[in-house]
Structure formats: structure tokens, C-alpha cells
């Protein structure tokens, strides 16, 4: 009897020692796993705007799976999203969303932020918040080498051009109207459609930012980037060239984290990352 009581007492003591790890009456075996789980950064982008972002069939070059899609996303925005998520300790999800639907998606909470080459404009700041810039994009006109505008060196040389750009961008809304007597065509839904319009001869020129133009020149060898003389180029404000990450109004916790992570990068880092994106973009004429 004494031996039995000793054994029971020993068992009780052991149970008490292990209580912090696994209670004798049962435990939540997932407790440790739950504590280790990272929050998820849900990032929206077009996945069709090289070199900022695009979709591809494989996971090569460090691409990221697109949620609810068999495809993978890559490009400057994806590289930046991966860096920032790692810096703030989040896992990353990429959501493919049409350009015009991106503000709605972030405002509704369907995604946490948009990293999609958006200019930080006063109009956009009325409905969303922005981080500090994660890129500075100069603006350029692109034409074909067989148009009358191939040797233009100032905006006035583009007078009368048939032109277009992507919908809801400073290129279409602000830059094209600066061309004298411009024959502005309806805006395209996406950057690839804009480039197809130029290549097909539907327009004489388009206006876009330098990274998009550089990437397009790799795909379309007949494209020519028009370098304008200083003082005779497009008039652009800081908000036209500053590219930021948009978030829902009032999401200050995530905004502060992203800004802190962006502060670890320099404009030279931005350029190096963009050059890498341009180098690995898929050479497709979508």
C-alpha cells in the first residue's frame, strides 16, 4: 500500500512539473504553433505592368504565387513587397486585381496595401493613405522609329500627335494635354494595351514612366524613347513622379511599419532593384 501511494505521489509531482508544457488532463497541441504564426501582408497589384509587376507561369527568378491563380507574380513591386514583408516580419500574399479596382480593394479591406506603381497624387490622397516613395519615376514619351516624331527633342515637337496612355494615370490626365493640338485617344485599360496600340500604329506615341519605357524597348525594338531637352520636357510635379504604397485611411500601424522598412533603402537601392526587374521581365507582347 505504501509503495502504491509513493508511485501515485511521484506521478502527481511529475504531472505538476510538466503542467507548463502539457496539462495532465489534456492540452492544445497547436498553442506553440499559433504563437509562431506570422501575420500576412496582402498586397494588391495588376500583375500586368512590367517592369513593376507581371504574371508568369513558373516560380523562376524568385516569383511569388498569386492567390487563387496557377500563376506567379514577379517584378519590381514583388521584389519590394518581399523585402518589406521580411523587414516587418510578415508572410506575403500577392493578389491580382485590375488597376481601376485596386483603390476599392484596399479601402474595403480585401487587401492590406497596393504596391503597383501608383503616383502619390492629391486626388488619391483624398481616399487612401500613402507611404513615403518607394520609387521616383521620370516621365518620357515613346514613339516608333518610323513616325514623324522619332527625332523630337521637346514637347512642342510632338504637336498634333495621335496619342494615348493608361487610364487614371498622370501620364494620361496631366502629360498628354501638354502636347499642342494633341489628338488624344481613349485611355487604355492597362500598360500592355497602351504599348500594343503604339506598336500596331493605332497611335503615334504614348507617355509613360522611364522604367515602363525601358522595359517596352526590350520587347519592341522599333520603339524609341524621346529624351527631351531640359526646360522643353513635360512639366511634372513631385506628386507626378513619386511612387508610393497605398493603404486604407487610418491604418497607421501598418503605415508606420512600412515607412520604417522603406527608410532602410536608398534611391540607389531602388534603381538597382528596378534594373534587376527590367533584366528578368518576360519578353512577351501581351
How far is the CA of 157 from the CAs of 34, 168, 178, in angstroms? 63, 25, 11
Task: State the architecture of 139-235 in CATH terms.
Answer: 3-Layer(aba) Sandwich (3.40)
Delimit the domains of the chain by residue range. Answer: 38-136+240-280, 139-235
Rounded to whole angstroms, the Cα distance separating 215 from 220 reads: 9
Q: Which of 36-40, 101-105, 207-211 has the lowest mean pLDDT?
A: 36-40
Is a pLDDT exceeding 90 seen at residue 35? no
Same fold, 38-136+240-280 and 139-235: yes
pLDDT of residue 283: 60
Task: Please check whether the domain covering 38-136+240-280 is classified as CATH 3.40.190.10.
Answer: yes
Q: What is the pTM of this model?
A: 0.79
Q: Are the beta carbons of 155 and 178 closer than 8 angstroms?
A: yes
Mean pLDDT to the nearest integer, 179-187: 98
pLDDT digits (tens, 9 = 90+) for 67-122: 999 999 999 999 999 999 999 999 999 999 999 999 999 999 999 999 999 999 99
Amino acid at each position: 500500500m505504501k509503495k502504491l501511494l509513493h508511485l501515485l505521489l511521484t506521478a502527481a509531482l511529475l504531472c505538476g512539473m510538466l503542467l507548463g508544457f502539457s496539462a495532465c488532463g489534456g492540452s492544445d497541441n497547436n498553442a506553440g504553433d499559433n504563437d509562431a504564426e506570422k501575420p500576412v501582408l496582402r498586397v494588391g497589384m495588376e500583375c500586368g505592368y512590367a517592369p513593376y509587376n507581371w504574371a508568369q507561369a513558373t516560380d523562376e527568378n524568385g516569383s511569388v504565387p498569386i492567390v487563387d491563380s496557377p500563376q506567379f507574380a514577379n517584378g519590381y513591386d514583388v521584389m519590394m513587397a518581399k523585402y518589406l514583408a521580411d523587414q516587418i516580419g510578415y508572410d506575403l500574399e500577392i493578389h491580382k486585381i485590375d488597376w481601376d479596382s485596386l483603390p476599392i480593394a484596399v479601402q474595403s479591406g480585401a487587401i492590406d496595401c497596393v504596391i503597383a506603381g501608383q503616383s502619390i497624387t492629391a486626388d488619391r490622397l483624398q481616399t487612401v493613405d500613402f507611404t513615403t516613395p518607394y520609387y521616383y519615376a521620370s516621365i518620357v514619351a515613346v514613339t516608333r522609329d518610323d513616325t514623324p516624331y522619332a527625332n523630337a527633342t521637346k514637347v512642342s515637337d510632338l504637336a498634333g500627335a495621335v496619342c494615348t496612355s493608361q487610364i487614371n494615370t498622370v501620364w494620361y490626365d496631366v502629360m498628354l494635354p501638354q502636347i499642342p493640338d494633341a489628338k488624344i485617344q481613349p485611355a487604355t485599360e492597362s500598360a500592355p494595351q497602351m504599348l500594343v496600340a503604339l506598336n500596331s500604329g493605332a497611335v503615334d506615341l504614348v507617355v509613360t514612366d522611364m522604367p515602363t519605357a525601358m522595359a517596352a524597348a526590350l520587347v519592341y525594338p522599333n520603339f524609341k524613347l524621346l529624351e527631351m531637352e531640359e526646360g522643353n520636357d513635360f512639366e511634372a510635379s513631385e506628386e507626378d513622379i513619386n511612387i508610393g504604397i497605398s493603404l486604407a485611411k487610418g491604418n497607421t500601424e501598418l503605415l508606420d511599419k512600412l515607412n520604417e522598412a522603406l527608410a532602410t533603402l536608398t534611391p540607389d537601392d531602388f534603381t538597382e532593384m528596378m534594373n534587376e526587374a527590367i533584366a528578368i521581365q518576360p519578353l512577351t507582347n501581351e
